[in-house]
Amino acid sequence: MEEALFELPLLDVHTHLDATHLAARGLGDLLLYHMVISDLYSAGCPDGGRLSEWPDEAEARGRILRALPFVERIENTSCYWGLRILLGDLYDWHEPIRSDNWERLDGAIRERSGEADWPGEVLDRGGIRRSVTELWRRHDGRADGLLQYSLEWAFFARCQWGEYDTALYELEQTWSQDAPSPPLPVTMGEDRPALARTVRTLEDVREAVDHYVACIPFEAILSTAQHLSTDLDYRLVSDEEMAAALKRRDRAGAAERDVYAGYILDLFLRRLGERPEPFVFQFSLGAEPLPYETGSRLSHRTLAQLGELVARHPRVSFHCYSSSAHANQTLCTLARELPNFVLAGYWWHSFFPPFIRRAMDERLDMLAVSRQIGFFSDAYCVEWSYAKAVLVRKMLAQVLARKVSMGQYDRETAIRVARAILFETPQALVGIAPREERVRRL
């Protein structure tokens, strides 16, 4: 089954690949992928924050040197398994990463990064026919042959650590710009630059949301991607409540936070619903801020309100990326009854083999193949896209082989199901246009 699945093409519906550096620029981009950083931090490494988007030589080298003493402690993890897969398959590297050999590995990675055809070759080896990334990472369009795009600009329903007016600040940021820009970080801390425009009234909110929608280049994107925080109350908010809460911004608390986010999100979804064709609203769910990254957390109230939110906006296609394994069964029941609700992949804190297999097993039993998307990598370089594609194929092979052994599927049905969720459904639901494979997978 695994051999058969490795011959199937797949589409990667959500990444952070950057057209200016699709492949790893050195060992730092691979060893210090943020999921591996969390492993290292838990093992005692002093660095818990992400590597900079464009690290200089001193930062990359310093972070690697501080991480190396802790690498041996994480070799048991599935994130490290992914690292071993990509290093072995793509760089023919089969040694442990240690202080006496890392520079040799770093040099080999840097050498390949300068080859123009290398990113496409890595994707082809993984059978990945197209990847979707953030629109701002398109730059001059040099990688349009490999990529399509999603808008990540403002996150109207994402909470920040210790803040209560985040939704307003996110909206103000976009209101102060004339075109989409990179989104704010996952964890802002206390660094909130002053903005050109400030939301003070209900009329300001409406004008700012309309400005946001008017700036969206719908012709250039397949979807928008945001986050829905479990800490928010997603009830309908009246104009009067929103106007009153705006006057209390300087002393806002949890109640005002919920009003700001609920009102802005609902207004934005209504604007999307007014478009001639249904638009894809991708959203992540079940990861909430911690000092450096996030933890998996999802309340039953959020799940109940999610159903109400999706039902209120039938002309928006909601694609859910959940990091909460325990919520998968509930989310499947919503997808069974809400025609505009789809489950996609395995996100962040659920991208670990036991949770991947569980989600696959439950979804295949509960949902039509046309209501589930089987893969996205969330990767920042093509090597991690490759590694995650390998892991997902391995887990899916185990799930399907078990169903065949029980007599639930025959072999042909199992392979047809796999092709549907990995390749056909992403085309139908997201609109991805697969490119032709140029070389065979390893």
Residues counted in the chain: 442
Return the pLDDT at 439.
Answer: 41
For tokens 């998996």, the residue is: 296
- CA distances 62 to 29, 47, 51, 80, 230, Å, are 13, 10, 11, 20, 36
DSSP string over 369-383: GGGEE------SSHH
How far is it, in rounded angstroms, from Cα 319 to Cα 331? Answer: 11
Q: What is the pLDDT of residues 321-331, one digit of tens each?
A: 999 999 999 99
The C-alpha atoms of residue 317 and residue 13 are separated, in whole angstroms, by 14
What's the rounded Cα separation, in Å, for the pair 411 and 287? 36
Question: What gap in Å lies between CA 8 and CA 189, rounded to an integer?
Answer: 43
How many whole angstroms separate alpha carbon 135 and alpha carbon 45? 33
SS percent in the chain: helix, strand, coil, step 5: 50, 10, 40
Strands (E), 59-216: 128-134, 147-151
Burial of 8 by CB count in 10 Å (0-12 exposed, 13-18 middle, 19+ buried)?
A: middle
Are 324 and 294 spatial neighbours (Cβ–Cβ below 8 Å)? no
For residue 398, give the DSSP letter.
H
127-177 pLDDT per residue, tens: 999 999 999 999 999 999 999 999 999 999 999 888 999 999 999 999 999
**Spatial contact of 223 and 151, defined as CB atoms under 8 Å apart:** yes
Q: Is the pTM of this model over 0.85?
A: yes
Read off the tokens for 88.
Answer: 């072995």
Determine the Cα–Cα distance for residues 44 and 70; give it in Å rounded to an integer: 7
Show pLDDT as tens, one digit a residue, over the chain (442 residues). 999 999 999 999 999 999 999 999 999 999 999 999 999 999 999 999 999 999 999 999 999 999 999 999 999 999 999 999 999 999 999 999 999 999 999 999 999 998 999 999 999 999 999 999 999 999 999 999 999 999 999 999 999 888 999 999 999 999 999 999 999 887 665 678 889 999 999 999 999 999 999 999 999 999 999 999 999 999 999 999 999 999 999 999 999 999 999 999 999 999 999 999 999 999 999 999 888 888 999 999 999 999 999 999 999 999 999 999 999 999 999 999 999 999 999 999 999 999 999 999 999 999 999 999 999 999 999 999 999 999 999 999 999 999 999 999 999 999 999 999 999 999 999 999 998 754 443 3
pLDDT at residue 260, rounded to an integer: 98
Residue whose structure tokens are 């990688």? 143
Residues 273 and 315: beta-carbon distance below 8 Å: yes
* Cα 355 to Cα 376: distance, rounded to the nearest angstrom: 15
- Identify whether the C-beta of residue 76 lies closer than 8 Å to the C-beta of residue 49: no
Q: What region does 316 belong to: left with phi over 0, alpha with psi -120 to 50, or beta?
A: beta
What is the distance between the alpha carbons of residues 22 and 42, in angstroms, rounded to a whole number? Answer: 28
H or E segment and range at residue 11: strand 10-12
> Who's near 385: CB < 8 A, 6+ residues apart?
12, 15, 17, 122, 123, 126, 128, 131, 377, 379
Kindly report, residue by residue over 116-131, the tens digit of the pLDDT: 999 999 999 999 999 9
**First CA to last CA distance, the chain:** 17
User: Is residue 40 a contact partner of residue 160, using CB atoms and an 8 Å limit?
Assistant: no
Q: Let me know: does 162 contact 136? Beta carbons within 8 Å.
A: no
CA angle (206, 211, 214) in 5-degree steps:
125
